[in-house]
Chains A and B, each alone.
Chain A
């Protein structure tokens, strides 16, 4: 059963990100000029301004940098309250915002190791797979 989620940002670049997620792969844009990893997807490298980007596969592993827990309902009841978000530093360097899977904010320890998994979700753009992070 797919979870109903608030809308993704779709369009050039974003569509490719979600296509890779659909295949169970976390991939971010990598600038062919300066090597920066970019997320969210952008038309040009936000660091050097170059326009050439490749999609680079991430290992999906990282460590927890921060968290927060929503008690205010910003989405008209779509997400049961409270729910948690986490900020993960991928081993490749970028910070990735996501949800914890199988643990909550009470279990969080600084720097705890996490790994990506994908859950079935849907929004007005259709069914898709959302990257979330579980403890390792």
Chain B
């Protein structure tokens, strides 16, 4: 098993902006795989990480129109383990001169590849991500999360508070929303608009795991996970893979499909006083800092962004990002959603494929795939009209990693 741990983000500098473009994207069958796992047909075997990775790669390769032999770079990113670099290359039938284990969750792996291309390490890199959270029975809370050597790198807020029964990512979002309610006077049902909006988007995506729209009454009657949050406020757990093919931008201009330039990125982490920064400030200092880095690198601002993909591990966290990056004022993010501003015709169409809440939980990778489709103008019935620039955000309980993309035509 290769070590898919921490990676070092390259600097957010204009010299690295638009040096690489995404020219191919492939995803697995989230909807069908999820259904099959919930109601397995006789003899059903869940797909392996390797099988998921291969399928996403083949689809991305076909999408790009490139030949297998042209791929001279390969990176593998696996949240719960996967083949080491040489095995991955053999599995996919490629002979890369650049081949690394590349972290796991978005957004770090993409800037790493852009920097490698800018340094001449490769011209065309296939980035493969796969996760089999559901088939390995991954549990997001309780004694799954440990400190010390066993839980190396796990934030203390995932395990330290066990004696008080405080656990799970859901509890982080619940604590943030309960404080937000007190501060801004929101009702529980107000937050329902966020999950509802994301589901409306997912209803236009045949590959989304969940596609049936729901009413606020149905939202309120869905069971609590960690009150005040309901089941529909918490993201899916499913298996899948995403492959992105990234090419040197100056070589990507004559391709059949419009290339999508990686224009900017940023990164900021909570260094101390996590509860205060997370609950009372909704990670605003980190979102502002990282967002500022990404915008400055791209030479763009909030007003230029026509499509946003946020990390909706919980509905409330999507609001943290909408506010923290400056798309809505503090305390106004939920009202922004209720007013339809996150819909296709709103000011900031958000998570148009259905996000982590309704489409797929690929730890930020499927959001990048959707961004590519939107900027190519091939998102069909959920296309944001005329969009040219987009922002994708990976944000966890203690860090923010935004990416800014631009149509490369």
Contact = CB atoms under 8 A, between A and B. Distances in A.
The 8 closest A-B pairs by CB, nearest first: A74-B142, A66-B179, A6-B162, A68-B174, A46-B272, A69-B227, A110-B182, A71-B224
A130 B168 contact: no
B176 to A, nearest CB: 8
Contact of A74 (B168, B174, B178, B275): B168
Interface in B153-171: 156, 159-168, 170-171
Interface stretch (A22-30, A54-62, A81-89): A81-89
A115 interface: no
B178 A75 contact: no
A12 to B, nearest CB: 11
Given A76-B142, A85-B164, A132-B164, 19 more contacts: A5-B164, A5-B165, A6-B142, A6-B143, A6-B163, A6-B165, A7-B163, A9-B160, A11-B148, A65-B279, A65-B280, A68-B174, A68-B178, A68-B226, A69-B228, A71-B223, A75-B162, A75-B167, A83-B165
8 contacts: A66-B279, A68-B175, A71-B226, A72-B225, A74-B141, A82-B227, A97-B164, A130-B164
A118 interface: no
Given A99-B164, A99-B165, A9 B147 contact: yes
Contacts of B170: 72
B161 to A, nearest CB: 5
B163 A71 contact: no
A97 B164 CA distance: 8
A67 interface: yes
B142 A70 contact: no
A66 B156 contact: no
A113 interface: no
Contacts of B168: 72, 74
A94 B276 CA distance: 8
A87 B167 CA distance: 13
A57 to B, nearest CB: 20
Contact of A121 (B147, B163, B229): B163
Interface residues of A, number: 38
Given A9-B147, A85-B171, A71 B225 contact: yes
Given A72-B141, A87-B175, A95-B276, A8 B162 contact: yes
Contacts of B272: 36, 38, 46-47
Contacts of A105: 227
B164 A70 contact: no
Interface string B231-274: 00000000000000000000000000000000000000001110
Given A65-B280, A68-B174, A79 B165 contact: yes
B23 to A, nearest CB: 42
Interface in A94-132: 94-95, 97-99, 105, 110, 121, 123, 130, 132
A35 interface: no
A38 B183 CA distance: 25
Interface string A1-37: 0000111110100000000000000000000000010
Contacts of B171: 68, 70, 85
A51 interface: no
Contacts of B147: 9
B175 A74 contact: no
A5 B163 contact: yes
Given A9-B160, A71-B227, A65 B179 contact: yes
A28 to B, nearest CB: 12
A69 B229 CA distance: 9
Nearest to B141: A74
A126 to B, nearest CB: 13
A95 B275 contact: yes
A121 B163 CA distance: 9
B226 A72 contact: yes
A70 B163 contact: no
B142 A97 contact: no
A96 to B, nearest CB: 8
Contacts of A66: 175-176, 178-179, 182, 279
B156 A97 contact: no
A8 B224 contact: no
Contacts of B175: 66-68, 85, 87
Given A68-B226, A83-B165, A75 B156 contact: no
A29 to B, nearest CB: 12
B274 to A, nearest CB: 9
A71 B223 CA distance: 8
A68 B273 CA distance: 19
